[in-house]
Amino acid sequence: MRKPMISFFSAMLMMAFFACDSGRKTAENTDSSPAENTEASENVSSEPEVFIYTSKVDKLRIRNEPSQTAEVSTSMGEGEFATGTGQVSDNKETVELRGVQWIEPYHKITTLKDQKTGWAFGGALSLVFAGAKAEQPDLDKLGKLSAHIRSLDVKKLDSGKKAWDFVKANFAGSKGATADGALVLLEQLLFRMETEGDYYMQTEKIAWKEEDYMAIFQNKFSMDKFPYTKLLAASGFTLGSAEGMVFPIVDWRALKGFFQGKVTAPMQQFVDQSLLESEEPAFSDAHLAISEEALIDRAIFWEKFNLANPHFPKPIAQESARWLPLAIINGDAGLGNRDYDTKEISPDVKKTWEYVMKKYPSAQLAKTVKEIYELCKAEGWKYSDKVEHWGNDYAEEHRGM
């Protein structure tokens, strides 16, 4: 009889999602664990001419060296912009931002406000653009949007509508990198509202019927049905459900509807995939809700996407490329699928991994799968100490990528 999958993976999955844009504390205001090596890398990307960042937190300290013990040269307010060349420190440090621990390097940047150059902790920055100077976004327009968003309270539902109204009024004719930047800033606000607000407490008060749950699951629920769901829709949210609960989530269909034809091709791919995964969640109640093959196809999509767009300005692209392989290796589709008494790894795992190696033989995921496949085969498809150590090492290696 199959036992529940390991709880570690469930924790990793939640951490990966909520580490993308969530939280509220000021950068570096909590204890941290700096790495030993604080030497800066001199490697600069040879592709983009300029990187443009915005601060996700207020009073972000810009230091003379990539270390929390280094002298502070200036600071950035939330939503303010900075430029860089892609130079990143060799060392990573652990910093808690808005209740979430980040393990990130420092980025060398120059603030637009006072033109001072220094090192900013990567977890507190959002990349808005990386590319040719001739193609960079209109920072005046994005700056006004950023200032407007900064004035909004994520705890108030009408903040979503105010942000949407501002975007519709000011970015209807925007194209390319400017449209990309507007989408990044708007979705970042909505995601903060989703994760930091208490709007789910209001949806819990609604007397949901079985047909409502089914309609939500099938993405057919009419948001006009209840006064509160109508307000949610006007503020950029739709509904998700799990464990008998109904809660607001960012409406990627609305984002796609407005930004379709405005954003760059990579951003359009990102929006399309994000919509698909929002409407067909991979996991439900901490268990796999789609086929193993579909999970693998998603992992390969993000692997290829990141290879084709190494400087894409949305962290979830990198996070998906990290935690989806973790699911396939260590989670419900991998080593987590085993009998905890006999330590026998399910035959389904073998089939899943063979699917990866057969369909995507040149992918990095296939190379990793082959390594653990051969080890499990040598161990008689038992969750032996060697297999356990390999899985633990793999999880630790990818925890802070």
3-state secondary structure the chain: CCCCCCHHHHHHHHHHHHCCCCCCCCCCCCCCEECCCCCECCCCCCCCCEEEEEECCCCEEEECCCCCCCCEEEEECCCCEEEEEEEEEEEEEEEEECCEEEEEEEEEEEECCCCCEEEEEHHHEEEEEEECHHHCCCHHHHHHHHHHHHCCCCCCCHHHHHHHHHHHHHCCCCCHHHHHHHHHHHHHHHHHHHHHCCCHHHHCCCCCCHHHHHHHHCCCCCCCCCHHHHHHHHCCEEEEEECCEEEEEECHHHHHHHHCCCCCHHHHHHHHHHHHHHHCCCEECCEECCCHHHHHHHHHHHHHHHHHCCCCCCHHHHHHHHHHHHHHHHCCCCCCCECCCCCEECHHHHHHHHHHHHHCCCCHHHHHHHHHHHHHHHCCCECCHHHHHHHHHHHHHHHCC
pLDDT at 399: 64
Dihedral of CA atoms 152, 156, 161, 167 in degrees, nearest 10, equals: 20
pLDDT digits (tens, 9 = 90+) for 226-246: 999 999 999 999 999 888 899
Within 10 Å of residue 396's Cβ, how many Cβ atoms? 9
**pLDDT value at residue 332:** 78
Answer whether residue 8 shows pLDDT above 90. Answer: no
User: Token pair of 397, please?
Assistant: 């290696």
12-66 per-position pLDDT tens digit: 333 333 333 333 333 343 333 333 343 333 344 358 999 999 998 889 999 999 9
Segment 241-268 shows an average pLDDT of 94
> Among 169-183, 266-280, 281-295, 346-360, where is mean pLDDT lowest?
281-295
Q: What is the model's pLDDT at position 10?
A: 34
Tokens 């040879």, located at residue: 46
What integer pLDDT is reported at residue 100 of this predicted model?
A: 76
pLDDT at 41 (0 to 100): 38
Q: Residue 57 is which amino acid?
A: V
Query: 169 near 225, Cβ under 8 Å?
Result: no
What structural domains does the chain harbor?
26-135 (2.30.30), 290-401 (no CATH)
In sequence order, the β-bridge partners of residue 237 are 250
User: pLDDT tens digit string along 118-170?
Assistant: 999 998 998 889 999 999 999 999 999 999 999 999 999 999 999 999 999 99
Q: Mean of the pLDDT values across residues 186-205?
A: 93
User: Do residues 391 and 326 make contact, with C-beta atoms less than 8 angstroms apart?
Assistant: no
pTM: 0.81
The alpha carbon torsion through 246, 250, 252, 253 (nearest 10 deg) reads 60
Q: What is the mean pLDDT of residues 173-190?
A: 95
Above 90 in pLDDT, residue 303? Answer: yes
Give the mean pLDDT of the chain: 86
Q: What tokens does 364 get? A: 């990095």
Largest CA distance in the chain: 64
Axis-axis angle for helices 158-170, 139-150 (nearest 10):
160
Query: Residue 190 is encoded by which pair of tokens?
Result: 């909505």
Place of tokens 């844009």: 21
Please give the residue that has the higher pLDDT: either 80 or 399.
Answer: 80
pLDDT of residue 333: 83
**Per mean pLDDT, which range of 161-170, 290-299, 319-328 is the poorest?**
319-328
